[in-house]
Chain A
């Protein structure tokens, strides 16, 4: 069966206007059938297919091109490059509300939206009560939309966009606006819709919603596909990217300098497996420490998430052990986590050297660690747990 929706090499350029005269120039260029002289590349080379019943979450930072992509699928704008094929009826909810007129009452806007979707007047009448019931706006349905709160507009928009059971449902940040109970109602509706074989294209900043509702995810960065695949893997990569970004680069203290200064310093730090490990696997951390006076230092090993949130830290003196002496001024340590239940994501393993009293912290060396897996739980670690429930 052919894909319900397929995009091939989609690109979209927006005209860049430098001056007032630039607008006149642009009109002239467009009339002559040329593109704009100066463009901003909003999307470039985006390709994917959606089969019937699939669900795709589009994620990315502000300005990454998410809305542009959804608008292209919805047919609101034409792509500059590439081809879009949609085989079915699209219900779109873009940027709050599906194109309402502010002066019109909720009811009049329902009629307008239905006309836009191509419904005959008789069909509109049949659907109207259903839409009103779902939007649940009470008497406000008779008020002009301009008096609505943004949440109320979204309620009406969602009710309209879903009333027709579209083949493809496109929603852009809808769930972020409604109140808690309406969000639940929307999610319940979408889950039922997906269960009935509906196809969803969801754009959201909430990884929770993407993971809950979408099987696949597409991460857009600066208009290009940064990653496309299973939702858990893509959302984790995206979160890790953000955590790293918000933390910034933190350079460890140069080892040579620490040694020269005559302080306790971590000289090497190795992870096994090296860089990436499956959730629940075994992790061994090895390293050696320079001791200026030959006394055994205290070694502190910690795991932090990529944004710096501490997960767990333990020092040799807490467990009443000493690192193993391998030379006059060198000590080695090995720490093993037989079953490391970190949830999938990006982390850092840090090793610190302290003086033998465990008071002064001299050094800080870190290695990155990616934990892979498709767990959908929340938080940092999987805690041992048991449900008393029926299977």
Chain B
């Protein structure tokens, strides 16, 4: 099948190609934002309500029932909020990204366009919503008198960008696989759930038994959580070499995911 070369109609308008892709991305992005909440009464507010509700439940369970301590000087609320939002953003972006192609089946079967734009739009919409919620919650915590260092955003925002890159790569690969093997989305749910509890989001790493600590610390998302806490709760703005490693990992995930996606996307039309 390697001898097939085709001049897709889109390339006949090469001059318009990039502009077209941008316009398409913008259209898909708007569509992802609106269709998600189209028909739901709470609308966009739900994006903020969901993590808030979770945060309230965790707060109740961990401070009133388990009476957990050792949150590096800050309250449990601030400790968890800083880490929970990026996690939920990543989790939802991966889940939605994985299943989003099905909603575009009509387009994929009938129109020539770069399919990966769909994933980019889906992931971008989810992350943008949760980033907005994150900033709002940080603001509220600050007003409530929690020790939030807003200058830590100088580190936190680039970390979100690294996260976005990695999440996009994962979503690209899983979305492409999901088209062929429907089990992907069913396996994904429990896997993400387990990963969440294995990541020091609801507990500090110091509470983990000494022997298991290196394993938990090896979790890349755990590293991200640590960096976010350092920046936002302690106000440490120093650059770490680990940041470069994280960026390299994210770039590799993105490149790998896109490679998988591009290998499989010519065959979507028959399976989506």
A binding-site residues for B, Cβ under 8 Å: 13-15, 23-24, 26-27, 30-31, 33, 35, 71-72, 74-90, 92, 94-95, 97-104, 111-112, 115-121
Digitize B52-76: 1 where CB-to-A-CB distance is under 8 Å, 0 elsewhere. Answer: 0000000000000000000000000
Instruction: Evaluate contact between A118 and B266: CB separation under 8 angstroms.
Output: no
A-B contact pairs, 6 of them (CB 8 A): A75-B8, A78-B6, A101-B107, A112-B31, A116-B24, A120-B23
A282 to chain B, nearest CB (A): 52
Instruction: Evaluate contact between B3 and A81: CB separation under 8 angstroms.
Output: yes
Instruction: Evaluate contact between A115 and B23: CB separation under 8 angstroms.
Output: yes
Q: Which residues of A contact B267 (CB under 8 A)?
A: 15, 30
Alpha-carbon distance A109/B230, docked complex (angstroms) = 47
Instruction: Evaluate contact between A31 and B106: CB separation under 8 angstroms.
Output: no
**Given known A30-B264, A81-B1, A85-B7, contact A112–B27 (CB-CB < 8 A):** yes
Count residues of B near A (Cβ-Cβ below 8 Å): 42
Q: Which residues of A contact B108 (CB under 8 A)?
A: 76
**Given known A76-B109, A76-B112, A120-B19, contact A23–B180 (CB-CB < 8 A):** yes
20 further A-B contacts with Cβ under 8 Å, apart from A23-B180, A78-B266, A118-B17, are A14-B270, A27-B180, A30-B263, A31-B263, A35-B1, A74-B9, A75-B9, A76-B108, A76-B112, A95-B109, A95-B110, A97-B106, A101-B106, A101-B107, A102-B106, A103-B35, A103-B38, A116-B113, A120-B19, A121-B23
With both beta carbons as reference points, the residue of chain B lying nearest to A81 in the complex is identified as B4
Instruction: Evaluate contact between A111 and B10: CB separation under 8 angstroms.
Output: no
Alpha-carbon distance A86/B13, docked complex (angstroms) = 11
Q: Which of B2, B27, B38, B177 contacts A27 (CB 8 A)?
A: B177
B213 at the interface (CB under 8 A from A): no
Q: Which of B26, B106, B263, B266 contacts A100 (CB 8 A)?
A: B106
B binding-site residues for A, Cβ under 8 Å: 1-10, 12-13, 16-17, 19-20, 23-24, 26-27, 31, 35, 38, 103, 106-113, 177, 180-181, 260, 263-264, 266-267, 269-270
Instruction: Evaluate contact between A86 and B12: CB separation under 8 angstroms.
Output: yes
With both beta carbons as reference points, the residue of chain B lying nearest to A168 in the complex is identified as B9
**Given known A30-B264, A118-B23, contact A99–B111 (CB-CB < 8 A):** yes
A193 to chain B, nearest CB (A): 18
Alpha-carbon distance A120/B16, docked complex (angstroms) = 9
Instruction: Evaluate contact between A27 and B264: CB separation under 8 angstroms.
Output: yes
Q: Which residues of B contact A101 (CB under 8 A)?
A: 31, 35, 103, 106-107
Q: Which residues of A contact B6 (CB under 8 A)?
A: 72, 75, 78-79, 83-84
Q: Which of A27, A89, A115 contacts B181 (CB 8 A)?
A: A27
Instruction: Evaluate contact between B9 and A89: CB separation under 8 angstroms.
Output: yes
Q: Which of A23, A77, A86, A116 contacts B266 (CB 8 A)?
A: A77
Q: Which residues of A contact B260 (CB under 8 A)?
A: 31
Q: Which residues of A contact B180 (CB under 8 A)?
A: 23-24, 26-27
Q: Which residues of B contact A102 (CB under 8 A)?
A: 106
Q: Which residues of A contact B5 (CB under 8 A)?
A: 83
Instruction: Evaluate contact between B12 and A87: CB separation under 8 angstroms.
Output: yes
Q: Which of B3, B106, B266 contacts A99 (CB 8 A)?
A: B106
Instruction: Evaluate contact between B107 and A99: CB separation under 8 angstroms.
Output: yes
Q: Which of B3, B13, B24, B110 contacts A115 (CB 8 A)?
A: B24
Q: Which of A27, A30, A85, A98 contacts B111 (CB 8 A)?
A: A98
Return the 5 tightest CB-CB contacts between A and B, nearest first.
A75-B112, A118-B20, A75-B8, A90-B9, A99-B110
Q: Which residues of A contact B35 (CB under 8 A)?
A: 101, 103
Q: Which residues of B contact A84 (CB under 8 A)?
A: 6-7
Interface centre among A26, A92, A115 (most CB of B within 10 A): A115
Q: Which residues of A contact B270 (CB under 8 A)?
A: 14-15, 77
With both beta carbons as reference points, the residue of chain B lying nearest to A93 in the complex is identified as B110
B176 to chain A, nearest CB (A): 8
Alpha-carbon distance A375/B110, docked complex (angstroms) = 36
Q: Which residues of B contact A100 (CB under 8 A)?
A: 106
Alpha-carbon distance A94/B6, docked complex (angstroms) = 19
Alpha-carbon distance A14/B113, docked complex (angstroms) = 20
Q: Which residues of A contact B27 (CB under 8 A)?
A: 111-112, 115
Q: Which of B1, B16, B19, B112 contacts A74 (CB 8 A)?
A: B112
Alpha-carbon distance A104/B103, docked complex (angstroms) = 12
B8 to chain A, nearest CB (A): 4
Instruction: Evaluate contact between A89 and B4: CB separation under 8 angstroms.
Output: no
**Given known A101-B106, A118-B19, contact A76–B1 (CB-CB < 8 A):** no
Interface centre among B10, B17, B108, B180 (most CB of A within 10 A): B180
Instruction: Evaluate contact between A86 and B110: CB separation under 8 angstroms.
Output: no
Q: Which of B13, B177, B269 contacts A118 (CB 8 A)?
A: B13
Q: Which residues of B contact A76 (CB under 8 A)?
A: 108-112, 269
Q: Which residues of A contact B4 (CB under 8 A)?
A: 78-83
Alpha-carbon distance A99/B20, docked complex (angstroms) = 16
Instruction: Evaluate contact between B110 and A118: CB separation under 8 angstroms.
Output: no
Instruction: Evaluate contact between A71 and B269: CB separation under 8 angstroms.
Output: yes
